[in-house]
C-alpha cells in the first residue's frame, strides 16, 4: 500500500514537471533602444530571454549597424519582437526549441496563410439601396458588382498600395487567403461597415489610450535647439505605452536632425503633432504600441467607420429645396452632385486645409477615415459641422433613415 502511494506521488510529480516544461513561464522583457544599432539591440533582446542570435544572411551586413528606435518596458517577448522587427525592417522569429532568435531580411519570412470566406450580403444590399437613392455611379464603377467594390475598399483600407490579389468576390461572399492576424482585421472592418453606427477599430481605440497615457506621463513643451532624437526621448521617456519608430521613418529622417519647432507651452500630444508636421510622419497604434511611421499609403488597421445614412437623407432634402424654381431641378439634386462624394470631397478639402493628409474611402452610406485619432477626430468635428450626429453622443432620440 505504501509503495503504491509512493508510486502515485512520483507519477504526479513527473506529470507536473512535464506540464511545466510544455508551458514555460511567461517572461516579460524591457527594450530601451532609442537610436541603438540593430545588432546590439538583437543581442540584448536575445540575452534577456537566454537565447542565442542566428543572424543568417544578415551576418556581416551593414543593416546591423543601422539605428532602430524602440522603447518598450515590461512587454511580452512576441510584442517586442514585432517592434524591433518593424523598426529595423528585418524579419525575426523566436525558435523556442532551439532557444534561438533567428533573423532574416524583411519579407523573407511570411506567416502561414489561411483561407476564409465572409458573407457580405447585408452590406451589398445596403450598397445597392444607397446607389438607387443617392448615387449616380461613375462610368468606371457602373459595371462593378457591389461585392467587387467592397473587395477594393477592404484591400485599400487594410493593405493600401501593397495590396495583393489574394481576395475574390464570389456572389455575395468575399474569399481571402491571409494570415490569421490579417483575417481578423478584415473581419473587424466588415463588421464595422455593417454596424448601424459604424465605430472605431481596435487599433484606433488603442491609439486613443496611448495618447491619453502620453498626455499624463510626458512633460509639457519642446525646448529650442533639440535634435529629433532628443525630442523623441524627452517626449516618450516615461511613456507607459510602448513606442517605436518604424523603419520607413528612420530611412528618411535622421535622429540627429534638428527639431526646429520650439514651444514650451505645448502639451505632449501637441508636441508630437508639431514634430509630425515638421518631420512628415504619422502616428497610430500597432501591436498595442504607439507607431511613428511614413507608411501613409500602405493601409492601416487604424480607422473609424462613420455611418452617414441620416446625414445623406437630410442633404437630399436640402438639395431638393435648393433646386426649386430651376429649369432642370434634377441637375441640382444630391444624386447629380455625386451622393456621398459630396461629403467625402468636403471632408478631404477641409482636412487638407487643416494640415492633415486625409485618406477617406466610401462604401455606400459608410465612409472610412483612416489614420490615428488626431485625423479621425478632426474628421468627426468637420462632419458635426455638416450636421452629422455622433452616435457615440447619441441620446437615442435622433431619427435614422436610409436603413
Partner 1 sequence: MKTAAFALIALALALSSVNSQDKPEPATIDLSYLGVPAEIALTEFAKSARLRLDLGDVPPEMETPVWLSVHKIELAHAAKLFSVATGLSVIADGKRLVVREYPEPGRHQFTRGYDVSVLAGRFVDYVRAYGHPDEERAKSSPGSKEEPFLATGAESLAHLVCLLLDMLWDTQPACSVVGERILLTTDHWTHIRVRELLALLVSDAGGDHPYTSSGRAHLAKLSAGEVKYEADDRPLGSVVAGLCKLASADFVVHHSVATMFADEHATMRGTDTCASLLESIVRHGGYEFTTSTALGVVCFRHVDTPEYGGCSVFETAPLLKRIDASYQRQKTTPGGPENLRAAGGVQVVVDAIEVALDAQEQPAIVASFGTRVIVIGVPSACDGAAAILKEMGWEAPKE
Q: How many residues belong to the site for partner 1 (CB under 8 A)? A: 38
> 240 or 387, CB closer to partner 1?
387
CA distance 83 to 123: 35
Q: Which is nearer to partner 1, 268 or 288 (CB)?
A: 268
The phi, psi pair for 369, rounded to 5°, reads: -100, 120
254 lines the binding site for partner 1 (CB under 8 A):
no
Residue number, 34 or 358, with CB nearest to partner 1: 358
What region, left, alpha or beta, does residue 256 occupy, with left being phi > 0 and alpha being psi -120 to 50 degrees?
Answer: alpha
Residue 334 makes contact with partner 1 by CB under 8 A? yes
Window contacting partner 1 (CB under 8 A); options: 141-149, 153-161, 243-251, 344-352: 344-352
DSSP for 208-255 reads HHHHHHHHHHSPS-B-TTEEHHHHHHHHHTT-SS-EEE-HHHHTTS-T
Cell of 349: 478639402
Residue position matching grid coordinates 444590399 = 125
Interface stretch with partner 1, choices 80-88, 141-149, 222-230, 330-338 (CB under 8 A): 330-338
Among 148, 237, 263, 377, indicate the residue that binds partner 1 (CB under 8 A): 263
Q: Which of 21, 23, 328, 395 binds partner 1 (CB under 8 A)?
A: 328
Cell numbers that stand for 5 in this block: 502511494
271-300 residues near partner 1, rule: CB under 8 A:
277
Choose the stretch contacting partner 1; rule: CB under 8 A; options: 100-108, 137-145, 246-254, 374-382.
374-382
- Sole window of 87-95, 283-291, 347-355, 391-399 interacting with partner 1 (rule: CB under 8 A): 347-355
Least Å distance between CB 192 and partner 1?
Answer: 23
331 binds partner 1 (CB under 8 A): yes
Contacts of partner 1 in 130-169 (CB under 8 A): none
128 φ, ψ (degrees, to nearest 5): -60, -45
CB 28 within 8 A of CB 76: yes
Q: Measuring CA to CA, which residue among 127, 133, 132, 165 is closest to residue 145?
A: 127
Residue 26 touching partner 1 (CB under 8 A): no
Any contact of residue 327 with partner 1 (CB under 8 A)? yes
Report H helices in 226-333. 228-236, 247-250, 268-279, 309-323
H helices of 50-179, in order, are 77-88, 121-134, 139-142, 146-158
CA–CA gap between residue 360 and residue 363 (Å, rounded): 10
Pairing of strands 90-95, 243-245: unpaired
Counting contacts by CB under 8 A, is residue 324 touching partner 1? Answer: yes
Q: How far apart are CB 115 and partner 1 at their closest, in Å?
A: 42
Residues engaged in binding partner 1 (CB under 8 A): 260-261, 263, 265, 277, 314-315, 318-319, 321-328, 331-332, 334, 342-343, 345-346, 349-350, 352-356, 378, 381-382, 384-387
Amino acid at each position: 500500500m505504501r509503495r503504491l502511494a509512493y508510486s502515485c506521488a512520483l507519477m504526479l510529480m513527473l506529470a507536473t514537471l512535464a506540464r511545466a516544461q510544455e508551458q514555460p513561464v511567461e517572461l516579460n522583457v524591457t527594450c530601451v533602444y532609442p537610436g541603438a544599432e540593430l545588432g546590439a539591440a538583437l543581442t540584448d533582446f536575445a540575452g534577456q530571454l537566454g537565447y542565442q542570435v542566428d543572424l543568417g544572411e544578415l551576418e556581416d551586413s551593414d543593416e546591423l549597424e543601422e539605428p532602430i528606435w524602440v522603447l518598450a518596458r515590461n512587454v511580452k517577448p512576441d510584442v517586442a519582437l514585432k517592434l524591433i522587427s518593424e523598426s529595423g525592417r528585418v524579419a525575426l522569429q523566436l525558435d523556442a526549441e532551439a532557444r534561438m532568435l533567428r533573423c532574416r531580411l524583411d519579407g523573407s519570412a511570411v506567416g502561414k496563410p489561411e483561407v476564409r470566406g465572409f458573407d457580405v450580403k447585408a452590406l451589398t444590399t445596403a450598397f445597392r439601396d444607397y446607389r438607387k437613392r443617392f448615387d449616380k455611379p461613375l462610368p468606371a464603377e457602373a459595371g462593378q458588382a457591389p461585392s467587387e467594390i467592397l473587395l477594393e475598399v477592404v484591400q485599400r483600407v487594410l493593405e493600401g498600395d501593397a495590396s495583393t490579389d489574394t481576395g475574390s468576390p464570389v456572389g455575395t461572399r468575399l474569399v481571402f487567403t491571409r494570415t490569421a492576424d490579417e483575417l481578423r482585421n478584415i473581419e473587424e472592418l466588415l463588421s464595422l461597415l455593417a454596424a448601424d453606427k459604424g465605430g472605431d477599430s481596435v487599433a484606433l481605440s488603442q491609439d486613443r489610450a496611448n495618447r491619453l497615457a502620453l498626455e499624463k506621463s510626458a512633460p509639457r513643451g519642446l525646448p529650442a535647439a533639440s535634435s529629433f532624437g532628443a525630442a523623441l526621448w524627452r517626449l516618450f521617456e516615461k511613456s507607459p505605452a510602448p513606442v517605436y519608430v518604424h523603419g520607413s521613418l528612420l530611412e528618411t529622417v535622421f535622429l540627429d536632425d534638428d527639431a526646429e519647432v520650439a514651444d514650451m507651452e505645448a502639451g505632449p500630444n501637441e508636441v508630437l503633432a508639431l514634430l509630425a508636421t515638421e518631420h512628415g510622419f504619422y502616428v497610430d497604434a500597432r501591436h498595442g504600441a504607439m507607431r511613428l511611421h511614413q507608411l501613409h499609403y500602405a493601409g492601416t488597421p487604424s480607422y473609424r467607420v462613420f455611418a452617414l445614412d441620416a446625414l445623406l437623407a437630410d442633404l437630399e432634402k436640402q438639395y431638393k429645396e435648393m433646386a426649386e424654381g430651376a429649369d432642370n431641378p434634377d441637375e441640382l439634386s444630391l444624386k447629380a452632385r455625386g451622393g456621398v462624394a459630396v461629403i467625402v470631397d468636403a471632408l478631404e478639402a477641409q482636412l487638407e486645409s487643416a494640415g492633415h493628409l486625409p485618406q477617406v474611402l466610401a462604401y455606400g452610406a459608410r465612409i472610412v477615415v483612416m489614420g490615428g485619432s488626431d485625423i479621425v477626430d478632426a474628421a468627426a468635428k468637420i462632419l458635426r459641422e455638416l450636421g452629422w450626429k455622433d452616435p457615440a453622443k447619441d441620446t437615442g432620440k435622433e431619427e435614422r433613415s436610409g436603413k
